[in-house]
């Protein structure tokens, strides 16, 4: 690796980590605005989305410039490819944080509606997945990455349980239909953040080992499909 390429890759990594920190902060503010009925925080999440979008575009342009100027191979090429994908996932997580913030703003103007108990556990799991996926990238640690992959199914289960709980609530008290639907949307957006954190973890495995594991099915599912 040439000195210029090394410097460019290090700068690229710093920019991606800065974006990751910004996105984590947006998610944290969006969730806090929901749980604490803080529309002021929700507004800040929306205001900061343009900066996240702009940074995502600049990082993509930097990746393409590195590919054109240095024509990296092997490990360096996988690193740039992973950054391109992770960059896009982070931008999408930023959009999902905005979605949650908008729901939080709507809920702040409604009569208090209890946040489903499981949603707090889901929030903890999702924010942990996002943080650990970025930590796995920083450390090039596939064990941490695989621990993120193992949590995705749990979050999916939490989402289904919350939806069932909200459907029951809507059937029991139709006057709270709007609030329940807003929480329904929040749960779905949290589940999508977990999906993007999983994508990031998969890209870390690719970056380190060169193995593409996206869309790989668990062995028991493959056996069922083959039977």
Place of tokens 């695989």: 146
- 202 is a domain residue: yes
Q: Identify whether the C-beta of residue 152 lies closer than 8 Å to the C-beta of residue 198.
A: yes
- 223 is a domain residue: no
pTM of the entire structure?
0.91
Number of domains in the chain: 1
Q: What is the pLDDT of residues 11-37, one digit of tens each?
A: 999 999 999 999 999 999 999 999 999
- 225 is a domain residue: no
- 222 is a domain residue: no
Q: What is the pLDDT of residues 148-198, one digit of tens each?
A: 999 999 999 999 999 999 998 888 888 888 888 999 999 999 999 999 999
- 227 is a domain residue: no
Burial of 166 (0-12, 13-18, 19+ CB in 10 A): buried
Who wins on pLDDT, 219 or 146? 146
Sequence-ordered list of residues with C-beta below 8 angstroms from that of 131, at least 6 positions apart, any chain: 24
Query: CA–CA separation, 197 vs 129, rounded Å?
Result: 6
Place of tokens 């995705």: 152
- 67 is a domain residue: yes
- 219 is a domain residue: no
- 111 is a domain residue: yes
Which domain does 56 fall in, by range? 3-213
């Amino acid at each position: 690796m040439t000195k210029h390429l090394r410097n460019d890759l290090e700068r690229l990594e710093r920019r991606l980590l800065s974006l990751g920190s910004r996105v984590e902060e947006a998610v944290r503010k969006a969730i806090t605005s929901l749980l604490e009925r803080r529309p002021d925080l929700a507004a800040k999440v929306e205001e900061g989305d343009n900066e996240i979008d702009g940074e995502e575009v600049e990082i993509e342009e930097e990746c393409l410039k590195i590919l054109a100027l240095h024509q990296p191979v092997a490990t360096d090429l996988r690193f740039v490819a992973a950054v391109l994908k992770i960059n896009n996932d982070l931008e999408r997580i930023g959009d999902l944080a905005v979605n949650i913030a908008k729901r939080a703003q709507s809920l702040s103007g409604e009569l208090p509606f209890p946040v489903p108990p499981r949603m707090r556990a889901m929030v903890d799991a999702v924010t942990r997945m996002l943080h650990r996926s970025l930590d796995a990238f920083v450390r090039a640690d596939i064990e941490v990455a695989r621990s993120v992959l193992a949590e995705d199914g749990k979050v999916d289960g939490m989402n289904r349980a919350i939806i069932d709980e909200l459907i029951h609530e809507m059937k029991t008290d139709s006057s709270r239909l709007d609030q329940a639907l807003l929480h329904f949307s929040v749960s779905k957006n949290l589940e999508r953040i977990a999906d993007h954190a999983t994508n990031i973890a998969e890209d870390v495995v690719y970056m380190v080992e060169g193995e593409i594991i996206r869309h790989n099915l668990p062995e028991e599912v493959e056996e069922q499909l083959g039977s």
